[in-house]
Structure 1
């Protein structure tokens, strides 16, 4: 409910910003020393067709600077954000177009540029174009800086994601700082989506175009909704074309959930439609990186995600439970002192991980043998048992999700000198969940719940 209320508040404030902006001029030429303000006119510069605006928009407890698609007062979509990982600014901020570029002026601090112009260039004017691109010109009306060159999470029709560049998802629907996923136009010609916090190995990929070695240099979206990779006259289509019209706008966005989607916006009907998804999944937990390290993903009927910590682990941030978990007590001392009472194995049923085992897989006759093998090995943090095969693992564990065929053993340390700790917590929930046990007793924990190369 809290997130729903915050989203409604976000839309309400954005509607006010839209109303303030409606009365503003739509002249495409913005002169030097023109200024914008977060809460008083002018708050933004509109494109001539009125479909796009550049300026201040509400973010958290303050304001951010960016570009958004304007469909109606209650239907706006942010497509680019300046300095997205900086804190929001206050209502006293001023954005000024100077000969050095766009300068943000804040009270009690020096101004800073949010546009980095090429060396030996001087800004003379700017324009919010009908394409959604905000550009700065020199005195010869040559574009010397533009938002389309450095996208955040979105490309619009007519925009290119160049070789070596990325889209990075937003943290949430109302927080446009950098999120957990990135879509990379790789130098090898492959378009791949990875979790940001990964080694970007093939096994980390959630989507790949499979075009490595084909020489494609960029991803392009055209006015008819064609999304394709291209180099010169050679293309590889990711979608077919769609309708073309003056009121139709296409965009492709890497979502908060890690799915890259192609959208169409009908500005006459004030509607939005998802045309294509990369990759197509029925369960959000199939997207690797949805939950952070040492946690596993669960969802009820493929809906809202719940990230759960391993036994013996706590959330890194209780306000952002998808950020991962850390161990709440070390196990190393007891292991190397050969004190059998210092460590024990906790069992987590029905969760599978992307595994990178050390050593050869062990053939065992029972899952208890798998846990015991890890317990006796000081290098072993966890073990995965399935089909009489035991894999020894070290932390961190990643990409956990529910799977009925596996058992995970986690090495934990006793909190007292002589005995095993008790598990007392039982989160309330209507849905069944993985089973967590120690070697002598078991406890079913219920909780509320909602790859590709």
Structure 2
């Protein structure tokens, strides 16, 4: 009797547990919605359309506590928030109670709010009942088909801020940005074909509008476009290439089939092509235009100034304050009244600053005093820009919009203020606000509808089943814990070993001998030892370096030094997993980098590094050295910066190796400026080593400069052969040759650049990189910059000439 009761109870329990799955099966998602059907906001995880292969989903997407959009999004990314590619009601979210998408009998889709008011409808369908089914295609297009399978409406004709492959951009379509990060409503930036038939970016602000890309300072043809094609058509194909009727053409850096992509007008006014990384399931930028972010119009609003810190950052001039403390697009307002009487005004100078456009008039070859008087005498003039630059250009401004400040800008701005006010440009309050987050999301407050919502009748039985299931799980968990306590205790004895294998640990020599198959596969060799490839027991692939030439100090001292290196952690430094110290044996265990050393990728036959890879290597290496010199717990010099010690991962991101061996080899005392012998490699050594001068971090700066020159030229620092102007082949020394080119040749960047780049590099970034490298190799060490200064200089190059991976169109 007890056994029968137990069986019945078990069956009853299984039925209760299965109830949610049975209910969900009744509402199983598909890719189609038929006429007369609807999708409810109250079942957002169930009432959803899924494309045939599961790439896209369409349904209600929550944007507030009780606010929803009807949207289409990529289903398989790990990015947060979800990657929405289309919204039906981006500017009017519906309530979280009783709202629905209805496929009405008349044949159109209608989005109904809680009071049955129509928020959005697919207006391309007629009133005779043309549409019979709505389907979500694998391309991300939501289509309405008639009884013969002909398309009568598609979401591709009404994009919001995103184009998908195969989705055309035509004369009637505008890609409109979101207002800000986390705010899906329409923003101020759009990409569309203008009246000249040119695909352009436009700032459409509350008071003014202006085109900011392609460069408005140039005509259509100088920007590489044509206006003599009225078709106004652009499309992104499955290979990642966009072609446009105005001759605009670009490709993703990962061009090819099989990659999921999207072209999005982002809220900072930049159109970016994104590719989905199948490994990380995150989006990565694969193209963007040559457009400095501070040159996006209206980014900081009226009177606001954009500058790099190093990200684009907004500030107000002295005497001005933000209109809205959370919204930079509203700009700045003066804390004084603007007067018209020219005897009661003066001008405040803002060095290296400009406000684009809105010139009252434009004068050339006039004095500063004459330019100032023009603005002083005009009540509509808010300030003037003046550029001496050998010509004396004067720009009186009626509006101060699209302000930007940079040390590279040769002109100054002079803002009109009352004569009694005392402001100085040195008092500028540089508010550290990343312009990629223009303002904070504001929660939507929508009232709930009265009455019981549909589906409430399921709430209590489902809640009971969930509660019962949770209780059962808790009971099972306690039972499992009780009956397996002794087993767990035994396992705990080995947990420390298991945990330490995932981090920094001490290996035995036999472990490393087994991991390297008796040190059979050599992958590198240098002055400090030989490196072998190995595989640990946990399947991690590692590089094992057998150190040579170390003094036989105590094991405790060796442990102290190695543990210091083990605590150093930076994305551009090779990670050390552990070490071995047994008798005279000293080995270090590092992560394994798939693409090997920079030397192999730069100098070996057939090697070819793209410009964006080289720029990344220069910047990443600089960041690693800056960290070693200034940021880690102990001051560590590398002392042997060279291509052999720069390793590249699968994405060609740099990681500096052997960064701690200067400490391991130095047993002479605590003063790191005193070394018992010369360190480094011929061709990369600073003069201090030869002249027996005190050693500082500037020796690494010198070596870094040599490395960068090798990166940009593709030539060895020791020497190379070059054909002279008279056709003779001769040997050249890298540094004297580069200095001669810079001094004597007007087109020195083109002469110096590695021929293997085939001209596919950004000229401005290349020039800045070479100039920084030449400063790094100055003979006088005090003239050389610090590595943190090097990082700042290269970052400016990256920001001013756009991220390096998208510079080549």
CA, structure 1 residues 380+44, in 2 after alignment: closer, same or farther (shift >3 Å)?
A: same
- Are positions 1:158 and 2:169 aligned together? no
2:69 matched residue in structure 1: 64
2:290 to 265, 280, 302: 280
1:79, CA displacement in angstroms? 0.4
1:319 matched residue in structure 2: 326
Alignment of 1:294-305 (within 5 A): 294-301=303-310, 303=311, 305=312
3-state SS of the aligned residue for 1:176?
strand
- Are positions 1:411 and 2:421 aligned together? no
Paired residues, what number? 397
Cα separation, 2, equivalents of 1:211 and 1:351: 32
2:134 to 126, 142, 147: 126
Give yes or no for contact 2:299–2:328 (8 Å, CA) kept in 1.
Answer: no
Cα shift readout 1:379-426 (whole Å, capped 9, x = no counterpart)? 432111221736252331222111343322222347xxxxx2355xxx
Give yes or no for contact 2:79–2:281 (8 Å, CA) kept in 1.
Answer: no
How does the TM-score come out when normalised to structure 1? 0.76
TM-align CA RMSD: 3.5
Stretch of structure 1 that moved more, 153-162 or 376-385: 376-385
- Are positions 1:397 and 2:400 aligned together? yes
Give yes or no for contact 2:29–2:46 (8 Å, CA) kept in 1.
Answer: no
1:174 matched residue in structure 2: 182
2:346 matched residue in structure 1: 344
Give yes or no for contact 1:225–1:242 (8 Å, CA) kept in 2.
Answer: yes
2:263 matched residue in structure 1: 252
2:32 matched residue in structure 1: 29
Give yes or no for contact 1:68–1:80 (8 Å, CA) kept in 2.
Answer: yes
Alignment of 1:37-76 (within 5 A): 37-40=40-43, 41-61=45-65, 62-72=67-77, 76=82
Cα shift readout 1:101-127 (whole Å, capped 9, x = no counterpart)? 222222345234432134444232211
Cα separation, 1, equivalents of 2:39 and 2:224: 41
Cα separation, 1, equivalents of 2:346 and 2:134: 66
Larger Rg: 2
3-state SS of the aligned residue for 1:238?
strand
Alignment of 1:131-210 (within 5 A): 131-186=139-194, 188-197=196-205, 198-200=209-211, 204=216, 210=225
3-state SS of the aligned residue for 1:171?
strand
Cα shift readout 1:92-147 (whole Å, capped 9, x = no counterpart)? 42222213422222234523443213444423221111110011122332211111
CA, structure 1 residues 354+133, in 2 after alignment: closer, same or farther (shift >3 Å)?
A: same
Cα shift readout 1:327-370 (whole Å, capped 9, x = no counterpart)? 455424x52xx7x34x33333222112244334526565x5665
Cα separation, 2, equivalents of 1:74 and 1:194: 28
Give yes or no for contact 2:383–2:414 (8 Å, CA) kept in 1.
Answer: yes
1:219, CA displacement in angstroms? 0.9
Give yes or no for contact 2:348–2:414 (8 Å, CA) kept in 1.
Answer: yes
Stretch of structure 1 that moved more, 171-180 or 390-399: 390-399
3-state SS of the aligned residue for 2:76?
strand
2:89 to 80, 83, 86: 83
CA, structure 1 residues 399+312, in 2 after alignment: closer, same or farther (shift >3 Å)?
A: same
Cα separation, 2, equivalents of 1:145 and 1:394: 47
- Are positions 1:385 and 2:386 aligned together? yes
- Are positions 1:448 and 2:432 aligned together? yes
Cα separation, 2, equivalents of 1:296 and 1:273: 29
Give yes or no for contact 1:357–1:391 (8 Å, CA) kept in 2.
Answer: no
Stretch of structure 1 that moved more, 138-147 or 84-93: 84-93
1:14 matched residue in structure 2: none
Cα separation, 1, equivalents of 2:152 and 2:142: 11
Higher percent of residues as helix? 2
1:23, CA displacement in angstroms? 10
1:64, CA displacement in angstroms? 1.3
Give yes or no for contact 2:241–2:255 (8 Å, CA) kept in 1.
Answer: yes
Stretch of structure 1 that moved more, 261-270 or 148-157: 261-270
Cα separation, 1, equivalents of 2:361 and 2:232: 40
Q: Which has the higher contact order (CA 8 A, sep 6+)?
A: 1
Give yes or no for contact 1:384–1:409 (8 Å, CA) kept in 2.
Answer: yes
Cα separation, 2, equivalents of 1:392 and 1:448: 29
3-state SS of the aligned residue for 2:95?
coil
* Unpaired segments ≥5 residues, structure 2: 1-22, 435-799, 802-809
Higher percent of residues as strand? 1
Give yes or no for contact 1:34–1:96 (8 Å, CA) kept in 2.
Answer: yes
3-state SS of the aligned residue for 1:224?
coil
1:358 to 360, 377, 388: 360
Alignment of 1:217-236 (within 5 A): 217-229=232-244
* Unpaired segments ≥5 residues, structure 1: 1-19, 415-419, 424-434, 437-441
2:622 matched residue in structure 1: none
Cα separation, 2, equivalents of 1:205 and 1:359: 16
Cα separation, 2, equivalents of 1:21 and 1:118: 32
